[in-house]
Amino acid sequence: MDKKPEKLKIYYIANARMPTEKAHGIQLAKMCEAFVKQGVDLELILPRKINLEKDSIESFYELRSPLKVKKLPVLHFGTSYWADFTLSALTFSISYFIYMILEKLKGRKGVIYTIDLDYFSFSLIPLLGMPYFMEIHGEKKNTLAHRLMFRSVRGIITINRYIKRQLMETFSIPSEKIIVHPNGIDLDLFSGAISRDEARLKLGLKKDVAIALYTGQFYDWKGLEILVSLASRLDGIYLYVVGGTPEEFKKLTGINEIPSNMVIAGRAEFKDIPLWLAASDVLAVIGTKKNNYSYLYTSPMKLFEYLAAKRPIVASETPSNKEIVSEKEVLFYEPDNADDFAEKVRFAARNRDAMSSYIDAGLRKAKEFSWENRARRIIEFINL
């Protein structure tokens, strides 16, 4: 009788507070769920941190598969955010190292999987003598910690080809050691049929106005200031911005005068994002030449959500966005050109019939990027 193949065991080590309102938490939770759905015996290893979010990971991210989670002790008493974060990352490294040594002493085998959420918490992984794989979401500096890690890592998963190229050039990593797969989408979150008017009623929005929508957390590398320039050019169209408070937006951009047709609506819970997308007439994706991460290296999850939401999309024509979508799915505008941005948003909002082919193509594209498809390809890579 043929021996039944062993179930793949993955220890997913992540220096992250979970659940978290930040976008990396969505990616982490959804990838873990997708691995489990593919039959992986996955254990998520996290630092034990004080968390204002009281929901479980499964509830917060609306997961349909339970996760096996191990939270390890870390220290917290830094005098500043960065001091506290550094101390926490350092002690988390020691905690997971001891935990994995004990797992090995118990005869338990598996693969370590991690993600680049900081600059050094991964440093002790090579010393464990276990095969490990790492997701890279941005360019990496030529530091000793990175050189040691890349020398011994079994495989690397990047979210776009520009990151792969940078890693190959900087660290002389062979091409076959790296696969490229962008972030993904949970299509089930967008399977419920809700009309624009129903969504607006639930959110308390006016029915008789055209709404352009931007969703996403506020970071300085995104070039958020263009949204103010956009709103000022949108004759008769409201621009809603979901992702932070007005105070946070003004502090980050240095802009205090917000146009009357621009509404900064604060943060939205993860489960409410599909509702906001359904309430819109057109969806906006920004990206700036002024920041390399924004221009070359990001793989915005909001773009996948937009594709699944069946709404017209206007996107900055950055290399990172063009790696995911083409002129068949979105209207591109020239990065940092507010006039071009506004012209495309006005057209998309007022010509729904003309945008129908873009919407249909976008939905087909979204189906290519499910978390399950992503997990399946990574598992094949691990098993090579």
DSSP H/E element including 371: helix 371-382
What is the predicted pLDDT for the residue at 2? 52
What is the predicted pLDDT for the residue at 6? 76
The whole-angstrom separation of Cα 383 and Cα 110 is: 12
The whole-angstrom separation of Cα 287 and Cα 375 is: 27
What is the predicted pLDDT for the residue at 56? 92
Residue 253 shares a structural domain with residue 124: no
What is the predicted pLDDT for the residue at 5? 59
Residue 131 shares a structural domain with residue 272: no
107: phi > 0 → left, psi -120 to 50 → alpha, else beta; which? left
Residue 121 shares a structural domain with residue 263: no
The domain in which residue 240 lies consists of 187-368
The number of distinct structural domains making up the chain is 2
Q: Is position 101 within any domain?
A: yes
Residues 6+ apart with CB under 8 A from 356: none
Per-residue pLDDT of the chain (384 residues; tens, 9 = 90+): 455 557 899 999 999 999 988 888 999 999 999 999 999 999 999 999 877 667 899 999 999 999 999 999 999 776 667 777 888 899 999 999 999 999 999 999 999 999 988 878 888 999 999 999 999 999 999 998 899 999 999 999 999 999 999 999 999 999 999 999 999 999 888 877 789 999 999 999 999 999 999 999 999 999 999 999 999 999 899 999 999 999 999 999 999 999 999 999 999 988 899 999 999 999 999 999 999 999 999 888 899 999 999 999 999 999 999 999 999 999 999 999 999 999 999 999 999 899 999 999 999 999 999 999 999 999 999 998
Q: What is the pLDDT of residues 254-303, one digit of tens each?
A: 999 999 999 999 999 888 999 999 999 999 999 999 999 999 998 888 99
Residue 85 shares a structural domain with residue 231: no
**Tokens of residue 320, six digits:** 């990172």
What is the predicted pLDDT for the residue at 1? 47
What is the predicted pLDDT for the residue at 273? 93
Q: What is the pLDDT of residues 318-369, one digit of tens each?
A: 999 999 999 999 999 999 999 999 999 999 999 989 999 999 999 999 999 9
Residue 52 shares a structural domain with residue 133: yes
Residues 6+ apart with CB under 8 A from 184: 27, 30, 31, 34, 301, 304, 369, 370, 371, 373, 374
The answer to whether 222 touches 288, Cβ cutoff 8 Å, is yes
Q: Is position 1 within any domain?
A: no
What is the predicted pLDDT for the residue at 271? 87
Q: Is position 215 within any domain?
A: yes
Say whether 39 sits in a helix, a strand or coil.
Answer: coil
The whole-angstrom separation of Cα 374 and Cα 368 is: 9
The residue behind tokens 């991964």 is 122
Residue 82 shares a structural domain with residue 96: yes
Q: Is position 272 within any domain?
A: yes
Residue 28 shares a structural domain with residue 177: yes
The residue behind tokens 């949204």 is 227
Residue 113 shares a structural domain with residue 209: no
Residue 58 shares a structural domain with residue 161: yes
Q: Report the predicted TM-score, pTM, of the whole model to 2 decimal places.
A: 0.90
Q: Which residues of 326-352 are buried (b: 16+ CB within 10 A; e: fewer)?
A: eeebbbbbebbebebbbebbbebbeee
Q: Which of 146, 118, 152 minimizes the C-alpha distance to 132?
A: 152
The answer to whether 288 touches 294, Cβ cutoff 8 Å, is yes
Q: Is position 3 within any domain?
A: no
Q: Is position 2 within any domain?
A: no
Residue 145 shares a structural domain with residue 32: yes
Q: Domain with 307 in it: what CATH number?
A: 3.40.50.2000
Residues 6+ apart with CB under 8 A from 59: none
Residue 298 shares a structural domain with residue 178: no
Residue 145 shares a structural domain with residue 268: no
Over its C-alpha atoms, the chain yields an Rg (Å, rounded) of 22
